Chains A and B, each alone.
Chain A
Amino acid sequence: DTEVTQTPKHLVMGMTNKKSLKCEQHMGHRAMYWYKQKAKKPPELMFVYSYEKLSINESVPSRFSPECPNSSLLNLHLHALQPEDSALYLCASSHLTGTSYEQYFGPGTRLTVT
């Protein structure tokens, strides 16, 4: 099973709202990632969790707050977003040891900020 699930698929929120994106994997991966992707651009890394601890934050604004409750779950809490934050948000997971480091991606959450 190489499935990463993400909910919701679509999200429309106002600039004063608080919402959360959810991601889940059951592949035993110990690294989980959040990416942001704008139209016609490659994904941009936002955060990496390694063994449930935040290991990389790519200078993301504090209105994005990640959380890793356990090794299978990853959340992204959103608050006071701006219209320019509208994008496809992708979650991914991978192993941290061995030689199979490919990341498996979820279907994404298409976020629109109004």
Chain B
Amino acid sequence: AQKVTQAQTEISVVEKEDVTLDCVYETRDTTYYLFWYKQPPSGELVFLIRRNSFDEQNEISGRYSWNFQKSTSSFNFTITASQVVDSAVYFCALSEAAAAGNKLTFGGGTRVLVKP
């Protein structure tokens, strides 16, 4: 069975500080996909990034960066120079691709509060 754990339930920072969100996953599949989603107070889940299990290259996209390490089953996400608009709940999610549909397993979410 797949499992995603986000140990941090809430993080509070002051604007311009960096924020790192932790995500640890469990799966028996050799091919899988990892995602980060943002859910602002409006409710819509916004797709941020995807990582395929066969690609461990870490990247930076604007103020977002991620650190994928298969050896420790971790997929951490960093927001650099946080802004008030980054305040939201962030979900890490895992899926295996299947013809029946990509069943997402979500972590419990981390609420990020960025204060001005």
Identify the A interface with B (CB < 8 A).
2, 31, 33, 40-43, 45, 48-50, 55-56, 88, 90, 92, 94, 96, 99-108, 110
- Which residues from A are CB-within-8-Å of B91? 42-43
- Which residues from B are CB-within-8-Å of A92? 45
One of B43, B44, B47, B52 near A103 (C-beta < 8 A): B47
With A50-B100, A96-B101 known as contacts, the answer to whether A108 contacts B50 (CB < 8 A) is no
Give the size range of B's interface with the partner.
Answer: 20 to 34
- Which residues from B are CB-within-8-Å of A104? 47
> Who on chain A is nearest to B50 by CB?
A102
- Which residues from A are CB-within-8-Å of B47? 2, 102-105
> Who on chain A is nearest to B96 by CB?
A101
Q: How far is the CB of B65 from chain A (nearest CB, A)?
A: 18
Given A42-B109, A105-B37, output 10 extra A-B contacts at Cβ < 8 Å. A2-B47, A33-B101, A40-B109, A42-B91, A42-B107, A42-B108, A56-B101, A92-B45, A102-B47, A108-B44
One of A2, A41, A100 near B50 (C-beta < 8 A): A100
One of B44, B102, B106 near A101 (C-beta < 8 A): B102
Check B95 for interface membership: any CB of A closer than 8 A.
yes
Check B42 for interface membership: any CB of A closer than 8 A.
yes
With A50-B99, A50-B101, A103-B102 known as contacts, the answer to whether A43 contacts B45 (CB < 8 A) is yes
B101, A31: Cβ atoms under 8 Å? yes
- Which residues from B are CB-within-8-Å of A42? 91, 106-109
Taking CB atoms and an 8 Å cut-off, the chain B residues in 70-112 that contact chain A are 91, 95, 97, 99-104, 106-109
A101, B97: Cβ atoms under 8 Å? yes
Nearest 7 Cβ contacts at the A-B interface: A48-B101, A42-B106, A105-B45, A55-B100, A107-B44, A101-B102, A108-B43
